[in-house]
Amino acid sequence: MGVYSYREQEIEGIVGNMKRLRVAYCVGATMILAAAGMVAVVRPEWIFGGGERARWWVLAALFVFFGGPLGENLWRWKRRPAKLAEELRALRVEVCAEEVRLLEEGSVRQIARREIRRAQEVSWGLYLRTENRYRWILIPRKIEEFETAKREIEEMGISVVEAGIAPNSEEFVGVMVFAGTMICAIFAHSPWVLGVNLAISVVVAAAGFVIVGRNPENAPKMRWARLGIFLPVAMTASMLWGAW
């Protein structure tokens, strides 16, 4: 059996990249909020719309996308990198003849050899796939001796193929549409546009609810996420109610 994990050097690199992204986000969010504050003082109607009810969603958007995350990042400035480092140190990939296991902090994901149908290699790692396309394990490329782990997978009789696009690309598309329907709910005023957005957000929410539930290992961790999927539906419905 092979056991693989992150080297300390890789952990430091990943944490360092995360810190740089946080700094960039905090700087950008601060600039956007400062600009919005100046506009609110000089041209308040641009923000508040002269009393229009719908324009208060601009404030909600500023809080949801910038103010809230900025405050949370600053509050957990030191704890979040330390937490990420702990999670990376706890990660283990175990490859044996009977199964492949991914041990993370507080959870274990495992797939028996007989369940693995194919292995797809992408730039960030190796996906082990089952007949259920939403039940899989990702072996990160940056773990120590990744190539050795891949050879062990091949010796189990599983062919490794390169994936031209990311597996389950519909999930990435779904996230983009989810964000788009939320933004539309915030800024749209037309009842017709809001009606179309409501229909799309209902379809995306229903599909997301089913997809998350297809992997039983997601259930304990994604319980609240399954409810959050319906947030654009609630936002659009409330805006449509106000528009009529």
pLDDT digits (tens, 9 = 90+) for 165-187: 666 677 778 788 888 888 887 77
**Contact 161/171 with Cβ under 8 angstroms?**
no
Q: Mention every residue, 6+ apart, whose C-beta is less than 8 A from residue 145.
A: 2, 4
> Could you read off the pLDDT of 213-225 as tens digits, one per residue?
666 665 555 555 6
Q: Out of 17-21, 76-80, 117-121, 188-192, pick the least confident.
A: 188-192
Indicate whether 206 and 179 sit together in one domain: yes
Indicate whether 8 and 76 sit together in one domain: yes
Residue numbers of the domain that contains 193? 169-243
Which residue pairs from 191-194 have beta carbons closer than 8 angstroms and sit at least 24 positions apart in sequence?
A: 191/240, 191/243, 191/244, 194/236, 194/239, 194/240, 194/243
- Any idea what the CATH number is for the domain that residue 122 is in? 2.30.29
Indicate whether 156 and 96 sit together in one domain: yes
pTM of the model: 0.72
Instruction: Pick the closest to residue 163 from 106, 119, 227 (CA basis).
Output: 119
Q: What percent of the chain has pLDDT over 70?
A: 84
Helix (H/G/I), strand (E/B), else coil: 4: strand
Beta bridge pairs of residue 119: 128, 160
Q: Mention every residue, 6+ apart, whose C-beta is less than 8 A from residue 82.
A: none
